[in-house]
């Protein structure tokens, strides 16, 4: 597969180049030159296929020329070796639970796939790659876990001091080995700004191979298509019509992967992109004008994004045709008050505990259904135990920590505390790696 830069001022590249470099030299996002079309027989037979068969079929065209089939099979089977259950919340709305992976967030799929791709590419290469990533909570844990022990790759995670939940902090800071955590005295935007500056710093880039691990990287973005297929496998057992799918969105990488799966042939009736009050995309759908904003902090903090990177990819899938986009996708914004009220209402009516991100999606989908009467599902992107302050207060009880996360409680945090200054981080990188 050939990938081109959406800024169209950089050379075309293959999967390996795009995965290793993240962003194109013209600062554009990479995009596949063809959207692969899956056969009707493959779609009709999805319910009978294993997760690995689906993963290999969907990913083969994208990695062709860079990863041989047997390696892809290994990478996919290591990536999706946990459950993706579609759970009925009530008669109209189901929840695709994406939190059964090692760090209890959907980002595990992308992070695991990407880490294994880089590990494979590094096999015949003596250069060390350094993955530099800023996190508001979930990305850091998924990347740390995904890259732990991958040879030839050092991971440095910047997180804002005091702004991630206790479980998230343990996931980031207790891995050891090739994973280093920097506790930055500032907010998420400071961490993000420092990482961006590092990628532009000539001196640093001469001394080390730096790459990003956020959803602009195709090796993290593309495999997110898979769980839409896993959901559909389960959906067709109980339903004749294609689902409406609601995705809680921040950088819009997750929903963009779903839209890509649909463009490849997966039946989905409509997409709903639910945001919190960081509503530049809902506003864009209304006015046709895009205006980035400064991100406002909310209780669904993994979606506090003021200028979503992946929206340009969604526009490209629709070939910049705004009416066609609006026909397939809608976007709405949900406030913190509505989010809390939704967690409370759904819990008291059904006993199902939503996390704040899933609750944003539930509220958006249930309002959409009142007008349209279609059945569908939300993506439940994280386990509620990762956001205990909000959820436990609303439902009035403690959420038990799942067994597979209990080991974290005995671990000791290891992080280097630094001021929110690029120079401090740069000096640390040069000295420590």
Ligand X SMILES: *Cc1c(COP(=O)(O)O)cnc(C)c1O
Q: Just list the catalytic residues.
A: 107
Please select the residue that binds ligand X; options are 215, 217, 262, 339, rule is CB under 6 A: 215
Question: Is residue 113 close enough to count as binding ligand X by CB under 6 A?
Answer: no
Does position 365 interact with ligand X (CB under 6 A)? The reply is: no
Which segment (67-75, 246-254, 285-293, 365-373) binds ligand X by CB under 6 A? Answer: 246-254
Query: Is the four-CA dihedral 289, 292, 297, 302 of positive or negative sign?
Result: positive
b/e sequence 341-354, b meaning 16+ C-beta within 10 Å:
ebbbbbbeeeebbb
Tell me the two tokens of residue 162. 């005091």
CB 272 to ligand X: min, Å: 13
User: Is 339 among the residues that bind ligand X (CB under 6 A)?
Assistant: no
Distance CA 139, CA 144 (A): 8
Name residues whose C-beta falls within 8 Å of residue 189's C-beta, 6 or more positions apart in sequence: 295
Residue from 382, 390, 391, 420 touching ligand X (CB under 6 A): that is 382
Q: Which residue has the tokens 């191979």?
A: 209
What letter would DSSP give residue 223? Answer: G
Segment contacting ligand X by CB under 6 A, of 12-20, 35-43, 171-179, 244-252: 244-252
Determine the interface stretch with ligand X among 49-57, 176-184, 242-250, 402-410 (rule: CB under 6 A): 242-250
Task: Name the one range near ligand X by CB under 6 A: 17-25, 85-93, 245-253, 328-336.
Answer: 245-253
DSSP letters, 235-274, are: HHHH-SSPPEEEEE-SSSHHHHHHHHHHHTT---SEEEEE
Least distance to ligand X, CB of residue 250, Å: 4
Q: Between residue 118 and residue 147, which ones bind ligand X under the rule CB under 6 A?
A: 138
Residues in region 290-309 near ligand X by CB under 6 A: 302-303
Which of left, alpha, beta for 59 (phi over 0: left; psi -120 to 50: alpha)? Answer: alpha
Q: What is the DSSP string of 149-196?
A: T-TTEEEEEEEETT-S-HHHHHHHHS--TTEEEEEEES-HHHHHHHHH
How many positions of this chain bind ligand X (CB under 6 A)? 16
Q: Under the criterion CB under 6 A, does residue 105 sit at the interface with ligand X?
A: yes
* CA 170 – CA 174 distance, rounded (Å): 6
Q: How far is the CB of 32 from ligand X (least distance, A)?
A: 18
Q: How far is the CB of 273 from ligand X (least distance, A)?
A: 8
- Binding site residues, ligand X, CB under 6 A: 105, 107, 138, 215, 248-254, 302-303, 357, 381-382
């Amino acid at each position: 597969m050939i990938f081109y830069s959406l800024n169209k001022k950089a050379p075309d590249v293959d999967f390996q180049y795009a995965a290793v470099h993240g962003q194109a030299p013209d600062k554009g996002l990479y995009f596949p030159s063809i959207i692969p079309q899956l056969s009707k027989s493959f779609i009709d037979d999805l319910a009978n296929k294993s997760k690995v068969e689906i993963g290999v079929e969907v990913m083969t065209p994208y990695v062709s020329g860079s990863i041989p089939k047997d390696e892809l099979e290994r990478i996919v089977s290591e990536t999706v070796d946990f459950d993706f259950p579609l759970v009925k919340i009530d008669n109209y709305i189901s929840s695709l639970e994406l939190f059964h992976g090692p760090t209890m967030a959907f980002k595990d799929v992308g992070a695991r796939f990407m880490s294994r791709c880089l590990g494979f590419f590094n096999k015949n290469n003596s250069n060390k790659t350094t993955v530099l990533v800023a996190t508001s909570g979930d990305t850091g844990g998924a990347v740390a876990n995904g890259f732990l022990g991958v040879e030839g790759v050092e991971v440095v995670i910047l997180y804002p001091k005091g702004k991630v939940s206790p479980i998230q902090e343990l996931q980031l800071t207790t891995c050891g080995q090739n994973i280093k955590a920097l506790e930055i005295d500032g907010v998420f935007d400071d961490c993000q700004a420092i990482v961006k500056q590092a990628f532009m710093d000539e001196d640093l880039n001469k001394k080390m191979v730096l790459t990003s691990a956020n959803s602009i990287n195709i090796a993290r973005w593309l495999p997110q298509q898979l769980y839409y297929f896993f959901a559909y496998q389960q959906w067709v057992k109980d339903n004749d019509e294609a689902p409406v799918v609601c995705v809680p969105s921040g950088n819009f990488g997750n929903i963009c992967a779903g839209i890509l799966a649909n463009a490849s042939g997966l039946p989905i009736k409509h997409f709903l992109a639910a945001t919190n009050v960081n509503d530049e995309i809902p506003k864009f759908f209304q006015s046709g004008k895009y205006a980035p904003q400064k991100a406002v902090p909310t209780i669904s903090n993994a979606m506090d994004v003021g200028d979503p990177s992946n929206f340009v990819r969604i526009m490209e899938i629709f070939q910049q045709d705004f009416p066609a986009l609006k026909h397939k996708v809608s976007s709405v914004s949900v406030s913190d008050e509505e989010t809390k009220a939704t967690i409370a209402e759904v819990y008291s009516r059904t006993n199902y505990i939503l996390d704040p991100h899933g609750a944003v999606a539930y509220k958006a989908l249930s309002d959409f259904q009142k007008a349209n009467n279609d059945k569908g599902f939300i993506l439940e992107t994280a386990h509620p135990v990762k956001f205990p302050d909000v959820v436990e207060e609303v439902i009035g009880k403690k959420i038990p920590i799942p067994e597979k996360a209990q080991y974290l409680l005995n671990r000791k945090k290891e992080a280097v505390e630094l001021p929110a200054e690029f120079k401090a981080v740069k000096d640390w990188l040069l000295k420590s790696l």
